[in-house]
Every structure is written in structure tokens, then in C-alpha cells.
């Protein structure tokens, strides 16, 4: 019935527009510490026992560390992000 079609199209549109807008405001950080002007994190070298993988996709749930979330982001958008890994030479 027409009402169902209108509802369906409206819902689909709403979701798709929402998603497109979120992707398209030019911001690369959708959710981390949006209460502050600039997210800068500090890691003490002395605290890195073996190595540290640091997130650069802004989607990790374990910020500032990489939790693999770059994978879903890359797959969804065709992007090629990944972490920076800080390591001791002997662990290469």
C-alpha cells in the first residue's frame, strides 16, 4: 500500500542521508573527546614495554591505542588508514 511505500522510502532516506552527512562534514574524528578543541595524547616511552600501536583512524574503542577498528572503516569507505607502531629495535 502507498502508506507503507512512503514510510519505507522516508526511513531509508533518513538513514542514508544521516550516514552521508556524518561522512561528509569533512571531519575525520566523529566522536573522540568532542568536548575539547584539540585531541593531543602523550605516551611515555618508559611505559612501552614491548611495543605500542597507536590509532590514527579515530575509531578505536581503546583510544589512543589501535584496536583494529581501522579495518571496518577502511572496508566501508575504501580508505587505507592504519596505526603507527612504536617499538624497540630488538623487537623487530
Other beta carbons less than 10 A from residue 89's beta carbon: 5
Considering only residues 26-65, where is the footprint of a second copy by CB under 8 A?
Answer: 26-29, 33-34, 36-46, 48, 54-58, 64
> How many Cα atoms sit within 13 Å of 14 on the Cβ side?
6
| Active-site hit among 18, 38, 61, 92 | 38
Instruction: Please say which residue, 6 or 62, places its beta carbon nearer to a second copy.
Output: 6
- DSSP label at 56? -
All 3 cell numbers of residue 40? 593531543
Considering only residues 33-92, where is the footprint of ligand FES by CB under 6 A?
Answer: 55-57, 59-60, 66-70, 81-83
Candidates 91, 68, 74, 1; CA nearest to 83 is: 68
Q: How far apart are CA 4 and CA 12, in angstroms?
A: 12
* Residue 19 annotated in active site: no
- By CB under 8 A, tell whether 75 contacts a second copy: no
Binding site for ligand FES (CB under 6 A): 55-57, 59-60, 66-70, 81-83
Residues tagged active-site: 38
Amino acid at each position: 500500500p502507498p502508506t507503507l511505500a512512503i514510510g519505507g522510502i522516508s526511513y531509508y532516506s533518513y538513514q542514508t542521508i544521516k550516514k552521508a552527512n556524518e561522512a561528509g562534514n569533512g571531519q575525520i574524528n566523529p566522536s573522540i573527546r568532542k568536548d575539547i578543541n584539540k585531541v593531543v595524547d602523550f605516551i611515555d616511552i618508559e611505559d612501552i614495554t614491548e611495543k605500542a600501536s597507536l590509532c590514527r583512524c579515530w575509531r578505536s574503542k581503546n583510544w589512543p591505542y589501535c584496536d583494529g577498528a581501522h579495518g571496518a572503516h577502511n572496508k566501508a569507505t575504501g580508505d587505507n588508514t592504519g596505526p603507527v607502531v612504536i617499538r624497540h629495535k630488538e623487537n623487530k
